[in-house]
């Protein structure tokens, strides 16, 4: 199988084709449980530069790298790096480029990952850039849909919540536009999707104020957290906080075989009473994160995956 991901940056999901996604999904399934995977990144180093908080993304990248026989170095808060002393992002990248085989970056600014990729000679993976994109989360999201629904084409996907500032939403819409699906966008008016960020994206999209208007036709219910930290105006946040919640009452009208996804962290937009519903798939989705990221690292760092 030709490996088109070898030595590539993953800055935007738009850089990937449908067959690139299928290659990652296929590799995820083949590597899972394979003991030879520990040979795939032996002696290789992943450097993570996280300028924003993270639990799943950073730890699943680290865990994935360990499972491939590699190691990780890095920092999970900018406070401990020399950027605190005034060093630029460009200089930081130039230096860590010599210490690692792959760089994973999360930054509060749109464009930071692209800048890092331009400067670094090593492959750079965007682990979240401002409210712009979070491509590896979208790869996990589509993988989860495929695993749990058996297909992606032909589904109706509802995306609920903070569609304005959630970077996972944009990467997910871009990824889903490669498939034959309907997207239903559900949010308060103030949190509607940024139309300019969807320019040129060819997919059927419909907007709603309330999930009750559309829940009965959804195969996938993808819920997002209000991105409090990205609001330029605190009062705008006060107007929308706790404006939507998916709970067992809402789910009563959902399809029996719908699935509920969330990139996590969840705050209060999915009630705890949903956790015991068999349609709740968000913790499984998080567990797929490690497997998908391992496949991605294996593909980026090996021209040929001889063990497969
Ligand atoms: C998301 C993010 O960082 O954008 N988290 C994640 O990586 N799963 C979602 C969020 O913070 O709401």
- Structure confidence by residue, pLDDT tens digits, 3-23: 999 999 999 999 999 999 999
For the cut 70, the answer to whether the pLDDT of residue 1 exceeds it is no
pTM of the model: 0.97
Q: What is the DSSP letter of 10?
A: B
Residue 258 and residue 26: Cα distance in Å, rounded? 24
Average pLDDT over residues 61-81: 92
CB atoms within 10 A of CB 106: 23
- Average pLDDT of the chain? 95
CA of 263 to the centre of ligand 1 (A): 6
Q: Choose among 152, 126, 236: nearest CA to 192.
A: 236
CA of 265 to the centre of ligand 1 (A): 6
H or E element at residue 31: helix 18-31
* pLDDT tier at 137, thresholds 50, 70, 90: very high
Q: Give, rounded to a whole angstrom, the gap between the first and last alpha carbons of the chain.
A: 9
**For a pLDDT cut of 90, what percent of the chain falls above it?**
93
Q: Which residues are catalytic?
A: 56-57, 85, 106, 134
Residue nearest to atom 12 of ligand 1 (CA): 225
Site to substitute for ligand 1 among 104, 168, 229, most atoms within 8 A of C-beta: 168
Q: What is the pLDDT of residue 305?
A: 86
* Residues whose CB is less than 8 angstroms from the CB of residue 280 and which lie 6 or more positions away in sequence, other chains included: 260, 270, 274
Residue 282 and residue 298: Cα distance in Å, rounded? 25
CA of 117 to the centre of ligand 1 (A): 21
Residues within 6 Å of ligand 1 by CB = 56-57, 128, 134, 137, 167-168, 225, 263-265
Residue nearest to atom 8 of ligand 1 (CA): 263
* pLDDT tier at 154, thresholds 50, 70, 90: very high
Instruction: Tell me the C-alpha to C-alpha distance, in Å, between residue 175 and each of 214, 279, 298.
Output: 22, 22, 21
146 phi and psi angles, rounded to 5 deg: -65, -45
Residue 123 and residue 84: Cα distance in Å, rounded? 25
């Amino acid at each position: 199988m030709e490996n088109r991901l070898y030595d590539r940056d993953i800055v935007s999901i738009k850089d990937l084709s449908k067959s690139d996604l299928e290659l990652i999904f296929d590799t995820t399934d083949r590597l899972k449980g394979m003991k030879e995977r520990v040979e795939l990144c032996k002696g290789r180093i992943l450097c993570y530069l996280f300028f924003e908080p993270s639990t799943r993304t950073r730890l699943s990248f680290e865990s994935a790298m360990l499972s491939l026989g590699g190691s990780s170095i890095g920092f999970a808060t900018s406070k401990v790096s020399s950027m605190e002393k005034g060093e630029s992002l460009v200089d930081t990248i130039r230096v860590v480029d010599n210490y690692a085989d792959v760089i994973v970056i999360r930054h509060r600014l749109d464009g930071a990952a692209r800048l890092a990729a331009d400067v670094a000679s090593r492959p750079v993976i965007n682990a979240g850039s401002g409210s712009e994109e979070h491509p590896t989360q979208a790869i996990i999201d589509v993988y989860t849909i495929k695993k749990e629904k058996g297909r992606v084409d032909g589904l109706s996907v509802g995306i609920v919540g903070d569609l304005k500032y959630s970077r996972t939403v944009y990467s997910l819409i871009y990824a889903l536009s490669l498939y034959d699906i309907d997207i239903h966008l559900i949010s308060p008016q103030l949190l509607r999707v940024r139309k300019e960020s969807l320019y040129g994206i060819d997919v059927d999209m419909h907007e709603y104020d309330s999930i009750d208007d559309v829940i009965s036709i959804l195969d996938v219910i993808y819920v997002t957290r209000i991105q409090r930290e990205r609001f330029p105006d605190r009062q705008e946040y006060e107007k929308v906080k706790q404006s939507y919640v998916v709970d067992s009452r809402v789910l009563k009208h959902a399809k029996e075989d719908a699935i509920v996804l969330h990139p996590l962290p969840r705050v209060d937009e999915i009630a705890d009473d949903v956790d015991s519903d068999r349609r709740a798939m968000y913790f499984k989705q998080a567990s797929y994160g490690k497997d998908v990221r391992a496949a991605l690292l294996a593909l980026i760092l090996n021209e040929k995956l001889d063990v497969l």
